Amino acid sequence: MQLPDTPQAIKDSVLAVNDDLPIRTDRPVHSGKVRSVYWLTEADSRRLIAEKGYDVAPDAPLAIMVISDRISAFDCIWRGQGDVRGVPGKGAALNAISNHWFRLFREQGLADSHILDIPHPLVWIVQKARPVMIEAICRQYITGSMWRAYSKGERSFCGIELPEGLRKDQKLPELLITPSTKGILKGIPGVPEADDVNITRADIEANFGAFNFRSLADVGRYETLLQEGFALISRELEKIDQVFVDTKFEFGFVTDKNGVEKLIYMDEVGTPDSSRIWDGGEYRGGRIVENSKEGFRQFLLNHFPDPDILLNKERMGERLALARDNELPLEALLQISATYVGIAEKIIGAPLALAENPKAEIVQVLRDSYGLIN
């Protein structure tokens, strides 16, 4: 993909606003940090399921999910000089990578995903899932927040005891699963009522219903899919000399057209936003070269004089003001663009196409092939 090289070209190339498309819906558009979700009308959901033959229940709610090129880090959205509000190619890279891994998961018999159709490189048609209320972090190396805690003497992580003598960025003795809560869960003994609280396997087993599991067997299935999914991505990345360091998985339950409820992968997977990926050759040489958002996070920590604002949750007001009041150098956005596009093209084994007018393209395909435009 040829990256834009002028401020105006950069601004024109990004899809910064993705919640204003004329997609037919009778509910408010949900706009997250990166993706916007348009829930289809019941009539449109039923029509598409029948027309396209999706493997879902006839009355399953469907949504159009449109990714943007916005860049978030430390729970804030950042922009560049000239009010550039995104990173060229970022959305297409994230979708292409997730599509690649979800396809391999399905082909190799792991599990399906929430994605039913891909009308455009920036768009998914997804089915509504009953989410498992856990963000599952898998870690193969000790780095980031785990290293910071370990270096201060902490040895227990989500009920797992780490040995003494580990070094920063070294491979762990085994793959660690360090889950945290997704959203605020109430009434679980020993689990604070706050978002993103670390939990243990014992917490999950003792309260599986509170996390939306149906049984203890579901907990075992969830762990198997975590381990198999991580192992698959790790093996594939090794083929292109990349190190899969850690990642986040999310899961949910859906019902297929035969009425069978099944556990699926959802959200995104194995992307530079949800994972750390290191260059293999550089790592063997003793250097860490990030092919993920971690490089952008490090840039922010070095760019501002008081990095504690970005690391200290008690200073969230100052952090939001920092993101609101500062435009980053365009070079920083182009660097993260090169990182995202570069790793995407390595993973999918093909050039990444950049839409010249993404909104117009999305509207056309959703109107002509899906009948979803007002």
Give residue-wise pLDDT tens across range 207-251.
999 999 999 999 999 999 999 999 999 999 999 999 999 999 999
Two tokens, residue 43: 């009539």
What per-residue confidence (pLDDT) applies to 354?
80
Proportion of the chain above pLDDT 70, given as a percent? 99
Q: What are 154-158's contacts with CB under 8 Å, separation 24+?
A: 157/198, 158/198, 158/199, 158/200, 158/201
353 falls in which pLDDT band (50, 70, 90)?
Answer: confident
At 1 the pLDDT is 53
The amino acid present at 270, given as its one-letter code, is: G
Asked whether residue 186 carries a pLDDT value surpassing 60, the answer given is yes
Confidence of residue 356 (pLDDT cuts 50, 70, 90): confident
Domain residue ranges of the chain, discontinuous segments joined by +: 7-129+348-368, 131-284
pLDDT of residue 357: 85
pLDDT beyond 70 at 178: yes
Q: Is the pLDDT of residue 334 over 80?
A: yes
E strand intervals along the chain: 30-31, 35-39, 62-67, 71-73, 76-80, 115-120, 123-127, 130-131, 134-141, 156-157, 160-161, 171-181, 242-255, 261-266, 275-279, 327-328
Q: Does the pLDDT at position 11 exceed 90?
A: no
> What tens digit of pLDDT does each residue of 59-106 get?
999 999 999 999 999 999 999 999 999 999 999 999 999 999 999 999
pLDDT of residue 67: 97
Greater model confidence, 358 or 124? 124
Quote the CA–CA distance of 169 and 165 in Å, as a whole number: 12
Q: What is the residue type of 82?
A: G
**Location of structure tokens 């190190």:** 243
For 342, the 3-state DSSP assignment is helix
Q: Say what the pLDDT of residue 2 is.
A: 58
The separation between the first and the last C-alpha atoms of the chain, rounded to the nearest angstrom, is 33
In degrees rounded to 5, what are phi and psi of residue 56? -140, 165
Lowest mean pLDDT among 3-17, 82-96, 160-174, 221-235: 3-17
Q: Which CATH entry fits the domain spanning 7-129+348-368: 3.20.20.70, 3.40.50.1000, 3.30.200.20, 3.40.50.410?
A: 3.30.200.20
Q: How many CA atoms lie within 13 A of 243 on its CB side?
A: 20
pLDDT, position 153 = 95
Which class in CATH covers the domain with range 131-284? alpha beta
The answer to whether residue 4 scores a pLDDT higher than 70 is: no
- Which of 267, 311, 275, 310 has the alpha carbon at shortest distance from 293? 275
Per-residue confidence (pLDDT) for residue 344, from 0 to 100: 97
Average pLDDT rounded to a whole number, residues 256-268:
95
Q: What is the pLDDT of residue 15?
A: 93
Q: Which residues contact 232 (CB under 8 A, 6 or more apart)?
A: 101, 104, 105, 108, 110
The pLDDT tens digits for 131-154 are 999 999 999 999 988 999 999 999
Element (H, E) at 12: helix 7-13
Q: Is 255 exposed, middle or buried (0-12, 13-18, 19+ CB in 10 A)?
A: middle
Q: What's the whole-number average pLDDT of the chain?
A: 94
Q: What are phi and psi of 233, to 5 degrees?
A: -60, -40
